[in-house]
């Protein structure tokens, strides 16, 4: 699942099966970097369909539930990402 990152969001907001938010930490995620192997092929295909297959692509990924978050425009500028 790919979601939009909210302003000042630092933890995951995905609601689990029990109706409670995940609150897992968000870490930088480079899905197309040579050193990273994504085990979930469906997730990788979803990322490929939405973004270009750029080794410099930066997303955020929850450590607990593995939800992917898109970066807002202001963060893309800070990280000098052109996607």
Distance, in Å, from the CA atom of 61 to the CA atom of 68, rounded to the nearest integer, reads: 5
pLDDT of residue 20: 92
Say whether pLDDT at 18 is over 80: yes
Instruction: Identify which of 16-30, 41-55, 64-78 has the greatest average pLDDT.
Output: 16-30
pLDDT exceeding 70 applies to what percent of the chain?
Answer: 93
| Enclosing H/E stretch for 78 | helix 73-78
């Amino acid at each position: 699942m790919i979601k939009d990152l909210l302003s000042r969001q630092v933890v995951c907001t995905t609601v689990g099966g029990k109706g409670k938010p995940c609150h897992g930490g968000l870490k930088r995620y480079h899905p197309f970097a040579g050193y990273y192997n994504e085990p979930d092929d469906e997730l990788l295909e979803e990322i490929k369909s939405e973004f270009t297959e750029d080794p410099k692509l930066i997303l955020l990924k929850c450590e607990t539930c593995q939800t992917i978050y898109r970066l807002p425009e202001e963060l893309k500028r800070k990280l000098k990402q052109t996607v």
